[in-house]
Chains A and B, each alone.
Chain A
């Protein structure tokens, strides 16, 4: 028996919108039995085909939010609709239509990669005739064809994670959830995984990813939301979020740091005509700090301008805004509330103020 999910006899605008949505959250709250409220009034719509990123520090509520979306947790209040289906009323329908990769890699170490995938196929009742092909495709997608028959306990962390992701795709879900998939991976493994995730999204799968790294979200996602203390505090494209921070920062260390030299250097940079209107040039203890949406394009020109005036640069560094910068801009607080972090933070703020003058 198939339950009709929306009325299709007559035109219904709401239904039409719903069918374009992969996820619809309305005023979602979640409180654990120990009294911790992990999600506070989140409303969110995600369209089909999006690569969506949920950005936030540890303990912000990312995992709880994902768990309510994949039917591992029931919302305390609010509505969760996944692929047009109410997650509380029809959890099995939701389970059939989503893939989920938990934060901690979950593969059976005693089974081979192929056996793990076979078990997943059976869990999702993939017809037997299709299994072999599908498993071969997935092994290729995540680059594990050569080790398909090796036990998962011989794999590196990155390989296990890729296998884990492949097992969540056996039923070809139109929507996948990845909870901090690159956590604990080395940079090479991370880059490789990014490629696989892009490929999955390019094949038409909607991806919902959580991460602690703005860089990662920037590379992968076309839309982001930032979560802090269970509330969404910002949303938009990666570019829009970074704009709030004010772009990349170029830090320059000068050889001579007498006040006159530093002031001369600042004048040189300002007069060099390479900076846009929205750039800021500030002073630090041993040089300059320049921030602009076009920092990467103007960097070399700035260095040349300084060199031309015999101002030697001993060190320079271009830094992307980190999630911490975004967070700082949005909330005025950093991730970690340790005293030391706060101390560094206030000195950063100080620099930023100088930059803006």
Chain B
């Protein structure tokens, strides 16, 4: 009989590398499927940045006439900022997905299974990274079609996607932290979206840093948006300017490690049985 001697073969060895990779793939697939099933979210997260791109470049067109403005076309100047905004919008949904899984009991279902804990999150983040890469490429294609150029060519486009990912991870971590602290999907969406606008204004997104008021210049030095925008802008307008790109990557990595580390601590606590009281649990 199939269940008669259950005991022995359930004592499997600790998960091997290939098993972990398969677990990552399992979750990667699930989140990809969910993304496709959610055309509304997908559409909004692409259309919104397009509106930014077209709208702002029309409104601020004449800014390039200012003395000292470093670009001839505002479209080329502003596209990097839109890529960064896109990365922030995409990241904001990450924590929501986690909280939704917790609300629906799917999180506990995963915890009750032998699946590798880290693989649950790594697979999910990989899916989000894939989605962002597609979105960034779509936006770049639009910008190029409208007349912008990427002076660093194909290699530059790859680098732009990677920097967008590096930048996005800061906010993926942030969104998950908010989700794990509030355990509310609406709060996570609201807070994650709420920080987007101020961070964009308090950076070099709209005008070069030298044209910003002094106090915003000071704040922008601590703002990850500044570094993401500057690095992508260098790649689009100026070429492989490592004095800009190098430090920007360094700063983003530091942000990633700090926020990512905090998120991992919270996730560990949420997955380690018995250390957190169940939020919505029944007795």
Residues of A at the B interface (CB closer than 8 Å) are: 1-3, 5, 19, 32-34, 36, 38, 58-64, 67, 70-75, 83-85, 90-93, 95-98, 100, 102-111, 115, 119-120, 122-125, 151, 167-168, 172-175, 179, 203-205
CA gap between A327 and B276 in the complex, in Å = 32
Q: Does B38 contact A (CB under 8 A)?
A: yes
| Total inter-chain residue pairs, C-beta < 8 Å | 140
For the complex with contacts A73-B273, A95-B113, A111-B30, 19 further pairs of A-B residues with Cβ separation under 8 Å are A5-B8, A19-B7, A33-B277, A71-B111, A74-B275, A85-B11, A90-B11, A92-B15, A92-B114, A93-B10, A97-B7, A104-B105, A107-B104, A108-B104, A108-B106, A109-B104, A115-B33, A172-B3, A204-B3
B26 in complex: contacting residue of A71, A90, A96, A122, CB < 8 Å: A122
Does B112 have its Cβ within 8 Å of any Cβ on chain A? yes
Q: How far is the CB of A256 from chain B (nearest CB, A)?
A: 50
* CB-based contact B114/A106 at 8 Å: no
The answer on a CB contact under 8 Å between A110 and B276 is no
> Hey, which chain B residues are within 8 Å of A98, CB to CB?
112
Q: Does B62 contact A (CB under 8 A)?
A: no
Q: Kindly provide the distance from the CB of A49 to the nearest chain B CB, expressed in whole angstroms.
A: 9
Give the residues from 48 to 94 in chain B that come closer than 8 angstroms, CB to CB, to chain A.
none
Contact of B7 among A63, A83, A124, A125 (CB under 8 A): A83
CB of A123 within 8 A of CB of B3, answer no
Complex contacts, B17 vs chain A, CB 8 Å: none
A70 smallest CB distance to B (angstroms): 5
B213 surroundings in chain A (CB, below 8 A): none
Which residues of chain B from 1 to 37 have any CB-CB distance to chain A below 8 Å in the complex? 1-4, 6-8, 10-15, 19, 22-23, 26, 30, 33-34, 37
Q: Which residues of B contact A93 (CB under 8 A)?
A: 10-12
Query: In the assembled complex, which residues on chain A have CB atoms less than 8 Å from the CB atom of B282?
Result: 58-59, 62-63, 103, 179
Asked if B114 contacts A83 (CB within 8 A), the reply is: no
- Choice from A34, A85, A120 contacting B277 with Cβ under 8 Å: A34
Docked complex Cα distance between A204 and B273 (Å): 29
- Known: A70-B112, A105-B105. Contact between A110 and B10, CB under 8 A? no
Query: Are A123 and B273 within 8 A (Cβ)?
Result: no
- A-B residue pairs in contact (CB < 8 Å), sample of 26: A2-B11, A2-B13, A60-B283, A64-B281, A64-B283, A71-B111, A72-B274, A73-B273, A83-B7, A85-B11, A90-B11, A95-B113, A97-B6, A102-B105, A102-B109, A106-B106, A106-B109, A111-B34, A119-B26, A119-B30, A123-B26, A123-B113, A124-B113, A173-B3, A173-B6, A204-B1
Interface centre among B104, B112, B114, B273 (most CB of A within 10 A): B112
Which one of B34, B111, B281 has the greatest number of beta carbons of chain A within 10 Å? B281
Residue of A nearest to B274 (CB): A74
Taking the closest CB of chain A, its distance from the CB of B186, in whole angstroms, is 17
Contact of A204 among B2, B8, B11, B15 (CB under 8 A): B2
Known contacts: A71-B273, A172-B3, A174-B3. The answer to whether A106 contacts B108 by CB under 8 A is: yes
Across the two chains, which residue of chain A brings its CB closest to B281?
A63
User: Complex: how many Å from CA A97 to CA B11?
Assistant: 9
- CB of A95 within 8 A of CB of B6, answer no
CA distance A168 to B110 in the complex (A): 11
Q: Which 4 A-B pairs have the closest CB atoms?
A: A106-B105, A74-B274, A174-B6, A122-B26
CB distance from A5 to the nearest CB of B (A): 6
> Which A residues lie within 8 Å of B267 (CB)?
none
B199: interface (CB < 8 Å): no
Q: Is the CB of A125 within 8 A of B19?
A: yes
Residue of A nearest to B120 (CB): A123
Candidates B4, B115, B274, B281; contact of A123 at CB < 8 Å: B115
Residues in B with CB closer than 8 Å to A83 are 6-7, 10
Known: A85-B11, A106-B109, A119-B30. A205 touches B274 (CB 8 A): no
Chain B residue numbers with a CB within 8 Å of A70 are 112
CB distance from A17 to the nearest CB of B (A): 14
Which residues of B lie under 8 Å from residue A73 when comparing CB positions?
A: 273-274
Closest residue on chain B to residue A97 by CB atoms? B10
Contacts of A104 in B (CB 8 A): 104-105, 280
**Which of chain B's residues have a CB closer than 8 A to the CB of A38?**
283
Contact across chains for A110 and B37 when beta carbons are under 8 A apart: yes
Q: In the bound complex, what is the Cα–Cα distance between A95 and B4 (angstroms)? A: 18
Which of B7, B23, B38, B111 has most A Cβ within 10 Å? B7
Q: Do A71 and B112 have beta carbons less than 8 Å apart? A: yes
Kindly state the separation between the CA atoms of A326 and B17 in the bound complex, as whole angstroms: 53
